Amino acid sequence: MEKKEYDAVILGGGLAGLMAANIVAAAGFSVAVVSKVFPTRSHSAAAEGGIAAYIMGNSDPNDDPDFMSYDEVKGGDYLVDQDAAELLSKKSGDIVNLLDAWGAPFNRQPDGRIALRYFGGQTYPRTRFIADKTGMALLHTLFEHSTGFKNIEYYNEYYVLDIVKEGNNVNGLVAMEMKTLNPIYLKSRALLIASGGIGMMYKHTTNSYINTGDGQGIALRSGVALKDPEFVQFHPTGLYPSDILISEAARAEGAILKNNKGERFMAKYAPHKFDLAPRDIVSRSMTIEIREGRGFEGGYLGLDLRHLGKKYIIERLALAYDAAKNFSGVDASEEMIPVRPAQHYFMGGIDVDTTGTNHDLNGVFSAGESACVSVHGANRLGSNSLLETVVYGRETGNTMVEFLKSHKNVETNSNVDPIVDAAYAYIKRETGEHFGVLTEELRDIMWDNVGIFRDNDKLAEAVSKIKDLRVRARSMYVTDKTSNYNTELFNALETRNMLDVAYTMATAALNRTETRGAHFRDDYPTRDDQNWMKHTLTYLAGDEIKISYKPVTYTRWKPEARVY
Amino acid sequence: MEEKEITVNIKKYNDKDGAFWKSYKLKADKYTQMTEVLRRIKSEQDPSLAYRASCHMAVCGSCSMKINGIPSLACRTIALQAVNEKNEINVESMDYYPGVRDLITDIDGFYDKIYKVMPRLIADESVLMGENEQRMTPEDQTEVWKFQECIYCGLCVSACPSVKEDEKFLGPAAHAKGFRFIDDVRDTKKQERIELLMDSAYRCTSCYMCYEVCPQDVQPVIAIKKTKNYLDQYKGDTPVTVMARKHDDTIVNLIETTGKIKESTLFLKTFGFGEAMRDAVDMLKTGKFKYAFEKDSKVKNMSEIKNMMGEKK
Amino acid sequence: MKVAYYPGCASHGIAKDVDIATQMIAKDLDLELMEVDDWNCCGGGFMDDKNEAVHASLNLRNLEKVEKMGYNKMATPCSVCLNSHKIAADKYENDPVLKEDVDERLKEANMEEYDNGVESEHFIWVLIRDVGIDNIRKHVKRPLTGLKVGTYYGCQLLRPSNVMGFESAFNPHSVMDLVAATGATPVAFPMKTACCGFPLMGSNPTVALKMANNILSSARNEGSEILVHPCSLCHLQLDVTQDKIQRQFKQDWRLPAVYITQLIGLSFGYTPKQLGMSKGSIEYLKSRGIS
């Protein structure tokens, strides 16, 4: 088997991975970036609305970083680690300036400074944006910046199989070149998992097809904990019926949600913030409206942009306008855009501290959506995912630099054959379960039972069904026996990862008997700070999930009622 | 929702069997994107079907292919809008790039050309140190953004006639990327970029194919034309740019003095006496020589032309 | 019917036969071609490489002249001139920064701001939309039955389709419809919408000639006896320059390339010589009994 050695291996070529790659490479260390897609295809590209930042001298005169942290803490329903939120806010201006220096073409004010606009849950406007393709523009900026480094090597279209461990230390990972199915052992002492989210396990998701929880899956299998996996964000405005994201920027620019009676129903649920209340609240309100018969036939609501005027819509919300037109046949300047909630973001993730370090396995780091630093708590605010990827991508990159300076690569070569054999087994098997069937069942279970409204029965059923799917997945096989870009094999491997991650999500959701942020229990409809002001940690131990807890870090904000 | 049965003919390919067509029938409604069609074929009928897809909203540039012969993003194509009168759709991999498997092609050559144009902003040191802030007018931002919107899908290069014939041509996407930085007031390497791009710019045939197929409306050919605007600042000297200079200078001079172009003068000045004489012999043979001396009156009101062509700004 | 007519430099130069044939059939079809007053070169494909504002101004000057003549449509036989005027008008309408510069130039030349009151059209669009295929068919005196004609569109007539707007850039049929009207057999070929390479003649002629040869070969491989095209500059590249192509690729065959109105003129009963065709085309057609 081919083997190569690097100082650091980074799994994922999205914003978090590339930011860290740039930092680690700038310090002179060798970096391999492994991704199952070419970096610009990463899901970061799909982030639309913007990146929140308090920039000194270029923000609302009444704003300051503490307000921003407070918004995050309240938005996350007090499950946020407050030191993490403060760090995020404090470094937000600085990171946006860095992105600007690296070439990100932020929209400008007439005087040439970076422009800003309101987003959901913000006390003052802080969102910086590049039309409504902010994620794409930032991703390209970081990728293009990285082409200046000779010590970053890209393994594009390589699929990760598993982490290699030697004792309690990371010893790299094994990946497979997708074009040939040739395995490669990438040895390193530091491993950054920055592989993004898990959306494909939900029937309705705004996520890319590639978001299958691969990083979380390999982490779980090597004994690393996922923190708070019960917290999943459902975005209010998925385009009906394709679930393509209509950015929150639309509502930030003045779009209004309306039911079939033409009522601005958010006035009832969030009398102060209306349509710009946090996403969990808006998604639940929409689901109630649809449930109670005030949706349109087919089960959707209207997003009304008409009063903004065609010119303004096209200038500021080009992507939303195009998406509505191309994918639902609606001219948003003349008709309401049909929308319904869809899975959007995974607040849970690989357990790391504010330096990006995981403490289960030496040398494991994580950043971006695959990580849980706990800046989003129980619900993430809009414009904060991009911010987290770059701020914590950089923090983690810096941590890795220090780690690399003080550690040497593990000397021994681990035996990685079993990892490869396990993958090839799917090809060698002639009969069994097919990934397509398992994935479709999983997508239904997660949407129906681990969705916007949850209760004991639904969640218990989900846990038992997922257990069953995991058993069936052991006899998964692929019909395509070639080694010629065999995408069927990779779909099967993705299914394995999704099942492991879904298992922790359903189990943790069943376990948390309260309502908090995006985790809404019909049978426990209120927040229970007494018993549940704590993070869930889930470990995969064979066929069981082990749950433990971790306290929430407070600095200055005491829990209070969450009213918008 | 109303559904219609469609037939999707896909040109499959693998190393062992080579290329062959295979047909699939499935139902689609008026919203069904071609990426969803492919996903369902893979999930329900033919798990071996290989294609790339990621965001399904036209920002990641993965699902480039030919649909009914037209270079397209699958996600941007709605199945029922693409079917012919027999409710059929033909799907193939992109032209130009080597095939890998089914709809997947090897586009490393495409990326390599982009890397050649130094595709990254080099800001002033003081900005990188955080001592200075960069400003940029909204108008400048709009122009940079236009050419930065490229999503690396590769469709333009797959359809470009010059790329196929001329390995020294960097291709539309790389030019859009390269010009995006020439055009960025925050960059410090303008001259270097002009040197990198100019020879290649004059290898573009201006056929607007890239403009036509670009799913992001980046208009790479316009970026190439705007790059050529900097010919006067170009210090290099290649056979292509030397000829281009002669050619362009002659045209400008003809328009400035007569308001019109006379090809015979243009041929003489561009190709030199020898080649122009050969052309003349060819024209004698074809009977077109007489047209070379066709006298067209020059523009009467030449002051209008001269005033319009004066330096502005 | 009267229509403003912009011949373009090439068709008043080495591609004079494009103008000759166009004038001939226009007369037969009761189209009165009113040459644009004191028109200037559009600078298509070159001037915009030098300076976009100068380019746009030159084109708008022509369009303003047409407006002054009292027409709202300008027909041209040249795809490059067509593309140039349409792109200029489009940029003027959609690019406020450019518009400002152009307005200043127009003012310097004592002209008004342009109000987009004139549509530029290709002469064949006028033939199809205003004259009508049926009407053209009625004028056919000598159906070109059995003549296999490769139908070539080239680039600038079709692209960018959102600006040109007449037909699909990938499945066009205007030239085919006109060829069918003459009684000849239209032959579609794979490279029918590829570029002929002419714009590269001024900087990279080797590749330019290769492109031209690709078109000719592609048409010939599908069984075309002659090639018909819609552009004065394609005419220079595919007709006038064929000897050069032969030399470069050491080829022993020629594929006569004629302008679309020349083919229509043949079917209207004019001789190849009257239509100003080149010797090779005259000889080939003679061998097919058309003279």
Quick one: pLDDT at residue B263? 79
Backbone angles phi, psi at B15, to 5 degrees: -60, -35
**Which of C14, C110, C169 is facing B288, going by the closest CB pair?**
C14
Those residues whose C-beta lies under 8 Å from the C-beta of residue A428, and which sit 6 or more positions away, are none
Quick one: pLDDT at residue C122? 98
Contact criterion met (CB below 8 Å) for A194 and A367: yes
Q: Provide the mean pLDDT of chain A.
A: 96
Q: Number of CB pairs < 8 Å for B and C?
A: 196
Plot region of A75 (φ>0 → left; ψ -120 to 50 → alpha; else → beta): alpha
**What is the tens place of the pLDDT at every residue in A143-167?**
999 999 999 999 999 999 999 999 9
A and C touch with 3+ CB pairs <8 Å, answer: no
CATH topology of domain C2-122: Glutathione S-transferase Yfyf (Class Pi); Chain A, domain 2 (1.20.1050)
CATH 3.10.129.10 assigned to C140-287: no
What HEC string does A473-497 produce?
HCCECCCCCCCCCCHHHHHHHHHHH
Contact criterion met (CB below 8 Å) for C263 and C184: yes
Q: Give the closest-approach CA distance of A152 to chain B in angstroms.
A: 14
Q: Do A147 and B47 touch (CB under 8 A)?
A: no
pLDDT beneath 50: ranges in chain B: 313
What is the band of A81 on the pLDDT scale with cuts at 50, 70, 90?
Answer: very high
Q: Do A328 and B111 touch (CB under 8 A)?
A: no
For chain B, percent helix, then strand, then coil, each to nearest 5? 45, 15, 40
Quick one: pLDDT at residue B313? 43
Catalytic residue among A251, A279, A394, A443: A279
Domain limits, CATH 3.40.50.11810, in chain C: 140-287
Helix (H) or strand (E) holding A18: helix A15-26
- DSSP, collapsed to helix, strand or coil, labels residue B124 as coil
Q: Please report the domains of chain A, with CATH numbers, ordered by start residue.
A: 2-231+347-406 (3.50.50.60), 238-341 (3.90.700.10), 417-534 (1.20.58.100)
Contact criterion met (CB below 8 Å) for A186 and A416: no
Contact criterion met (CB below 8 Å) for C255 and C150: yes
A551 near B CB under 8 A: no
What is the band of A121 on the pLDDT scale with cuts at 50, 70, 90?
Answer: confident
Can you read off the two tokens belonging to residue A486? 């065999």
**What is the tens place of the pLDDT at every residue in B184-206?**
999 999 999 999 999 999 999 99
Those residues whose C-beta lies under 8 Å from the C-beta of residue B6, and which sit 6 or more positions away, are B25, B26, B27, B28, B37, B79, B80, B83, B87, B88, B89
Q: Where are the alpha helices (DSSP H) in A76-129?
A: 82-90, 92-101
Contact criterion met (CB below 8 Å) for B72 and B139: no
Q: How would DSSP label each residue in A319-382? A: HHHHHHHHHH---TTTSPEEEEEEEEEE--EEE--TTSB-SSSBTEEE-GGGEE-SSSTTSPPT
Q: Do C211 and B205 touch (CB under 8 A)?
A: yes
CA–CA distance from A376 to each of A257, A467, A504, A517, C157 (Å)? 25, 29, 19, 10, 55
Compute, in degrees rounded to 10, the torsion defined by CA atoms B239, B245, B251, B256.
-170
Longest dimension (CA), chain B: 72
CATH 3.10.20.30 assigned to B4-105: yes
Burial code (b: 16+ CB inside 10 Å, e: under 16) for C112-128 equals eebeeebbbbbbbbbbb
pLDDT for residue C225 is more than 60: yes
Q: Do A105 and B47 touch (CB under 8 A)?
A: no
pLDDT top residue among A330 and B282: A330
- Alpha-carbon Rg for chain A in angstroms: 22
Contact criterion met (CB below 8 Å) for A446 and A230: no
Q: Which residues pair with A174 in a beta bridge?
A: A162, A185
Q: Taking the CB of residue A398, how many other CB atoms lie within 10 A of it?
A: 16
Quick one: pLDDT at residue B288? 81
Contact criterion met (CB below 8 Å) for A287 and A518: no
Residue with tokens 């929880």: A213
pLDDT for residue C291 is more than 60: yes
Q: Give the closest-approach CA distance of B108 to chain A in angstroms.
A: 10
What HEC string does C102-169 produce?
HHHHHHHCCCCCCCCCCEEEEHHHHHHHHHCHHHHHHCCCCCCCCCEEEECCCCCCCCCHHHHCCCCC
Can you read off the two tokens belonging to residue A269? 């649920």
ipTM score for this prediction: 0.95
- C-alpha–C-alpha distance, residues C113 and A154, integer Å: 53
Work out the percent of chain A whose per-residue pLDDT is above 70: 100
Quick one: pLDDT at residue A564? 86
Spans of all domains in chain B: 4-105, 108-233, 239-309
Mutant choice from A23, A33, A41 vs B, greatest count of B C-beta within 10 A: A41
**What is the tens place of the pLDDT at every residue in A439-478?**
999 999 999 999 999 999 999 999 999 999 999 999 999 9
pLDDT for residue A319 is more than 90: no
Which residues of chain C lie closer than 8 angstroms to B254, CB-CB? 41
Quick one: pLDDT at residue B311? 64
pLDDT for residue A378 is more than 60: yes
Please tell me which chains touch A, using 3 or more CB pairs under 8 Å as the contact test.
B
- C-alpha–C-alpha distance, residues C275 and A466, integer Å: 80
Work out the percent of chain C whose per-residue pLDDT is above 90: 91
**What is the tens place of the pLDDT at every residue in B2-60?**
899 999 999 999 999 999 999 999 999 988 999 999 999 998 899 999 999 999 999 99
CATH topology of domain B108-233: Fumarate Reductase Iron-sulfur Protein; Chain B, domain 2 (1.10.1060)
Quick one: pLDDT at residue B296? 66
Nearest to A69 by CA among A563, A555, A518: A555
Can you read off the two tokens belonging to residue B66? 């030919």
Domain limits, CATH 1.20.1050.140, in chain C: 2-122
**What is the tens place of the pLDDT at every residue in A260-316?**
999 999 999 999 999 999 999 999 999 999 999 999 998 999 999 999 999 999 888
Mean pLDDT of A403-414: 90
**What is the tens place of the pLDDT at every residue in C121-136?**
999 999 999 999 999 9
Nearest to C142 by CA among C183, C113, C111: C183
**Which of C40, C111, C155 is facing B208, going by the closest CB pair?**
C155
Backbone angles phi, psi at C66, to 5 degrees: -60, -45
Work out the percent of chain A whose per-residue pLDDT is above 90: 92
